[in-house]
Amino acid sequence: MSRELKAKDRTGVINPIFTCQPVGAQYVSIGIKDCIGIVHGGQGCVMFVRLLISQHLKESFEIASSSVHEDGAVFGALDRVEQAVDVLLMRYPHVKVTPIITTCSTEVIGDDVDGVVCKLNDGLLKEKYTGREVHLIPIHTPSFVGSMISGYDLAVRDIVKYFARKGEPNGKLNLITGWANPGDVTALKHLLSKMEIDATVLFEIEDFDSPLMPSGNTVSHGNTTIADLTDTANASATLALNRYGGGKAANYLEETFQIPTIIGPTPIGIRNTDTLLHNLKTLTGKPIPPSLVRERGIALDALTDLVHMFLADKRMAIYGNPDLVIGLAEFCLDLEMKPVLLLLGDDNAGYVNDPRIHALRDGVSHDMEIITNADLWEMEQRITQNDLQLDLILGHSKGRFTAIDNQIPMVRVGFPTYDRAGHYWHPVVGYAGAIWLEEQMANSLFTDMEYKKNREWLLNVW
């Protein structure tokens, strides 16, 4: 029986699962109110990322670029940062927070972004923008290491580290959602509300949906304020839902301000949502109310309707954000399904010691591969060359061609999803997320049966 955790055996990347670190930092920036980040690099480092996020969320928002050209790549481009900050502050008088996000080119040429921030704080901001609150925050996210997930993790830590200041205890919980959709934030806030927990939900984009009004269109923005970020040091506890997307910030708050902290698990499925509620109870002392016990029962009933008859023993591949992939795999195992291939798209050294991965490997009775630093070619090759038999694929939109070419049903989940409508409003976390996920998987299998004209007994209807 093979249950391996291994890196892919090729040095090149074909059809990557993730994109680069600056993307994660940019996703963090859109969760902050009165914030526009400046990406210090080529204009494409903003243009294509902004397109990707807009395709996923179907919204317009603002991110700026220092627009480095050939001369800057040779001689240095710190002057472009100075110009970008000046133009941004002139054009957007409401902006208070400006992360300056580095890229591969500007890290390679050695631009001293921290130094230019000090220069701007002592010069431009005092001379031209006297009395205006402006926070310039250097975020180092070179594209030649890590991925968008590690970039998200670094940006959350650095922004929390910049703002957090010790004051009077506020009695609130810090909730670091990690890379989440608006629907996930709504579901999490619902659970907090039911438990009557006062929490600061950090870097959240629940309202990232600007209406079309007679007075004109508006630009979407996140809801986390400077006051929220400053007050993170005064919370009663911190709960980070993702180990690799927010864990660094949670550890920083614990080590620096002695705030009790729990990291994970990502609350996908019944088991992990139960753990989330018990962690909330442990950190806050608030009881789990009967209303949530009832919601759990409704979810269990919905799962019971489908699991044994339609989902059991279905073989699947899952790829994407590592916390998402692990959470989905745990949920699918609880549904009697068989995850046989898990693809983690970067080479994070923490995977080797991740207890969740060890539990997955030790807890399955079928062959399963967990590939780190993986790309989507790994899945393609196993299907076409190694005769990997799959009933279902879970992942973001970039894997759709493998699913289409090999006639394997696929459920879109994760970032980016741009070939399905409205997925960002549906949670994958909590009891509501468990219902949505299992219904999506079952409906995909039903539709596949119709297209292939298979008899009903192949889905165990009898």
Residue 165 placed within a domain: no
Residue 168 placed within a domain: no
305/419 same-domain check: yes
284/321 same-domain check: no
Q: CA-to-CA distance for 189 and 241, rounded, in angstroms?
A: 13
Q: CA-to-CA distance for 404 and 422, rounded, in angstroms?
A: 21
Average pLDDT over residues 366-373: 94
374/439 same-domain check: yes
- Write down the pLDDT at residue 1: 47
Using alpha carbons only, how large is the chain's radius of gyration in Å? 23
Long-range contacts of residues 187-191, Cβ cutoff 8 Å, at least 24 apart:
187/427, 187/429, 187/430, 187/432, 187/433, 188/241, 188/267, 188/427, 188/429, 188/430, 190/430, 190/432, 191/273, 191/276, 191/277, 191/280, 191/292, 191/430
Residue 310 placed within a domain: yes
Residue 165, Cβ neighbours under 10 Å: how many? 12
CATH classification at residue 179? 3.40.50.1980
454/443 same-domain check: yes
Q: CA-to-CA distance for 129 and 108, rounded, in angstroms?
A: 31
Q: Which two tokens stand for residue 130?
A: 């006297």
Residue 84, Cβ neighbours under 10 Å: how many? 21
pLDDT in tens, 302-351: 999 999 889 999 999 999 999 999 999 999 999 999 999 999 999 899 99
Average pLDDT, the chain: 93
Using pLDDT thresholds of 50, 70 and 90, give the confidence band for residue 460.
Answer: low
Using pLDDT thresholds of 50, 70 and 90, give the confidence band for residue 12.
Answer: confident
208/105 same-domain check: no
Domain span holding position 255? 173-289
- Write down the pLDDT at residue 212: 84
282/369 same-domain check: no
Q: CA-to-CA distance for 267 and 324, rounded, in angstroms?
A: 9
Residue 167 placed within a domain: no
Number of helices (H), then strands (E), in the chain? 18, 16
In this prediction the pTM is 0.95
